[in-house]
Amino acid sequence: MVQPILDSAQFTLGPNNSVAIYKGGSELDIGLLTEINWMSKVDIEKKKINLMSGYTFTLAFIQNWTGEITIQRTSSKLDKLWFNSYEAPVKAGAAYPSVNIIQTIRETDGSTSRYTFQGAALFYDDAGTFSNEEGVVQKISFSAPIRIVS
């Protein structure tokens, strides 16, 4: 059997992906988004049911979508946004805000896929490690109840 000829244009690569975060209809400015890594996945709770007949069935319950964005720090904008939009208001008694995250992918056939993670809670997991002659990498994660495909 002859193997098909493949070239790099047939694969989805990291630079084909872009992400924007919106709160109240406005895009959040976290500085120059030098995205290093984007990951999203569906969380599925699996429950095994063992029948007396000896068969086992697995029930699946879709819980939500989770993910993370790892970025290279280029300014203090993410730190200030986190404090002003999350940390200070929540400590003062405000509700934890939600956002919409829009992921856009340029597909290899020239089309565009768009995924909206609606009602997402953001978490500032890592403000970065400051080390001599090393870039500072920061991490934001999220949990969203739904992902809309458009």
**107: number of Cβ within 10 Å:** 10
User: 50 lies in a domain?
Assistant: no
Q: What is the pLDDT of residue 14?
A: 65
In a domain, 36, yes or no: yes
Domain assignment present for residue 19? The answer is yes
Of the pLDDT bands very low, low, confident and very high (cuts 50, 70, 90), residue 31 is: low
> Helices (DSSP H) in the chain: which residue ranges?
77-82, 88-91
Does residue 59 lie within any of the structural domains?
Answer: no
If you ran DSSP here, which 8-state letter would residue 108 be given? Answer: T
In a domain, 75, yes or no: yes
Q: What is the pLDDT of residues 80-130, one digit of tens each?
A: 999 999 999 999 999 999 999 999 998 888 899 999 999 999 999 999 999
pLDDT of residue 128: 94
**Number of structural domains found in the chain:** 1
Q: Residue 93's domain spans which residues?
A: 8-41+68-149
pLDDT tens across 41-92, in order?
Answer: 999 999 999 999 999 999 999 999 999 998 888 889 899 999 999 999 999 9
pLDDT value of residue 8: 59
Residue 133, classed as helix, strand or coil, is coil
Residue 98 within any structural domain of the chain: yes
CB of 50 within 8 A of CB of 121?
A: no
In a domain, 83, yes or no: yes
Six token digits for residue 37: 């890594």
Question: Does 135 fall in a domain?
Answer: yes
